Chains A and B, each alone.
Chain A
Amino acid sequence: MSTAVTQEQIEQVVIESLQTFGADPEEIRPDVTFEALDIDSLDLAELSQIVHEQFGVELKGSDVAEIKTVDDAVRLIASRA
């Protein structure tokens, strides 16, 4: 999509979203798992909507099932943005 989108912007949106979902800001790091952050499939469904709106990236259920960490999510979104 937009060539102006950077990995940092994506990371920022993902981190802000996770905080909105109730994850502890101090525990959010690239390598931390969603499970450790108590982020579940419903949160990831919300995240999919947010990245679609912000970056025009579509994440399907099968994509979401594959991502386990914050970094996984950022990389996947960046690869499609």
Chain B
Amino acid sequence: MEPVVVTGVGAVTPLGVGARALHERWSGGVCGISDGEGPCAEFDAGDFLSTKEARRTDRFTQLAIAACAEALEDAGWREELPYDAVRVGCVLGTGIGGITTLVDGQDTLRERGHEFVSPLSVPLMMSNAGAAALSMRHGLRGPTLAVSTACASGAHALGCALRMLQNGEADAVLAGGSEASLTPLARAAFSALDALSDSGVSRPFDARRDGFVMGEGAGVLVLERREAALQRGARLLGTIRGYGASSDAHHLTAPREDGEGQAAAMLAALADAGAGAADIDYVNAHGTSTPLNDRAETHAIKLALGEHARSIPVSSTKSAIGHLLGAAGAVEAVATLLALRDRIAPPTLGLTEPDEGLDLDYVPGAARPLKPAGESPPLALSNSFGFGGHNAVLCLEAA
């Protein structure tokens, strides 16, 4: 099957506006979390959107637009699309969609009455609003859709885009994820589930971890068929070597304790890539900092990679930016590709006392050089798992 390459990346995260800010600051040990949350404090919608566009978009769409603009610039897509517009698609994941718009509409309904609810409510809050905005803004006329699998949305979106390209449905797909749910409702709802950290610290795999820290952001990647990308003279950042997905079929919020469902997705991604456990040089863990995830995921990594799991670095982007929910998988794919490119194993920040039984090399505190085992470019797995038992794993290779 023809390889699918990444030619551009973009991200807006609590570490700043830009994929480079994410990569360099995380690798440098900077944490973007403050007061127990990870807002995109440096993001100003006015830098990217006209008044009209800003009014027509929820924040989750605005973040996606900014990440996409960077990804297209990075890919060298200028004024015109390098492919026939009907052959360019878009898949954008979001776990929640336009929750700010939803809440505002509900407030208006309660306080002023139904006749005052904005006609923009539905087009802003719908989960596909981000994909629709990217399609309209860039004239993408191929298949465009939203993917929603909670915290696995971003990774599922990339997997879906990969298949779209492999199936010949498109020549290029802009794919990623976006989330902007730092609202009192989401805080209260996740708190009620006992999922959020009381301490406000994201320290995956640490004995003191007490839940995830909610963040917001977006990540978008430009995916193209390799031959077509080379033909147009594109610079290649990396290859999506494989994708695997599975379901726990176990519990609405809790993962299987034995990690079997997650391991199945990791094995499927390896098989799809035509790779073995020994070929993997790095794992970008889902690593949420919740007691349940980090234990189950550690089991899963051992199940999928066997003894090899103990010889490679495993780290969590969420230690630096918190949990970006439906954007996490895409943002982490961006971070993983840039880390592989620079042969760096980025750190799990805040980890000083690994929990009992959590005994992998989580790269605590500071980045390290990544030393691929063989001659070929480094290969990584990026894990994403969502409420509902959705598991999505990407196998990514540096160019």
Interface residues of A (CB under 8 A from B): 20-22, 38, 42, 45-46, 49, 52-53
Q: Is the CB of B51 within 8 A of A52?
A: no
A49's contact among B50, B53, B119, by CB below 8 Å, is which?
Answer: B119
Q: Is the CB of B116 within 8 A of A42?
A: no
Q: How far is the CA of A52 from the CA of B116 in the complex (A)?
A: 9
B55's contact among A22, A45, A49, A53, by CB below 8 Å, is which?
Answer: A22
Q: Which residues of A contact B120 (CB under 8 A)?
A: 42, 46
Q: Is the CB of A21 within 8 A of B52?
A: yes
Instruction: For B53, give the chain A residue with the smallest CB separation.
Output: A22
Interface residues of B (CB under 8 A from A): 50-53, 55-56, 115-116, 118-120, 123
Q: Is the CB of A22 within 8 A of B52?
A: yes
Q: Is the CB of A42 within 8 A of B52?
A: no
Q: Which residues of A contact B55 (CB under 8 A)?
A: 20-22
A-B contact pairs, 17 of them (CB 8 A): A22-B50, A22-B51, A22-B52, A22-B53, A22-B55, A38-B52, A42-B119, A42-B120, A42-B123, A45-B119, A46-B118, A46-B119, A49-B115, A49-B116, A49-B118, A49-B119, A52-B115
Q: Which residues of A contact B118 (CB under 8 A)?
A: 46, 49
Q: Which residues of B contact A53 (CB under 8 A)?
A: 116
Q: Which residues of A contact B116 (CB under 8 A)?
A: 49, 53
Instruction: For B50, give the chain A residue with the smallest CB separation.
Output: A22
Q: Which residues of A contact B51 (CB under 8 A)?
A: 22
Q: How far is the CA of A53 from the CA of B115 in the complex (A)?
A: 9
Q: Tell me how far the C-beta of A9 lies from the nearest C-beta in chain B, rounded to whole angstroms.
A: 21
Q: Which residues of B contact A22 (CB under 8 A)?
A: 50-53, 55
Task: Identify 20 new A-B residue pairs, CB closer than 8 A, beyond the known A20-B55, A22-B51, A49-B116.
Answer: A21-B52, A21-B55, A22-B50, A22-B52, A22-B53, A22-B55, A38-B52, A42-B56, A42-B119, A42-B120, A42-B123, A45-B119, A46-B118, A46-B119, A46-B120, A49-B115, A49-B118, A49-B119, A52-B115, A53-B116
Q: Which residues of B contact A42 (CB under 8 A)?
A: 56, 119-120, 123
Q: Which residues of B contact A46 (CB under 8 A)?
A: 118-120
Q: Tell me how far the C-beta of A61 lies from the nearest C-beta in chain B, rounded to whole angstroms.
A: 11
Q: Tell me how far the C-beta of B22 lies from the nearest C-beta in chain A, rounded to whole angstroms.
A: 31
Q: How far is the CA of A42 from the CA of B55 in the complex (A)?
A: 11
Q: Tell me how far the C-beta of A67 lies from the nearest C-beta in chain B, rounded to whole angstroms.
A: 16
Q: How far is the CA of A53 from the CA of B123 in the complex (A)?
A: 22
Q: Tell me how far the C-beta of B97 lies from the nearest C-beta in chain A, rounded to whole angstroms.
A: 18
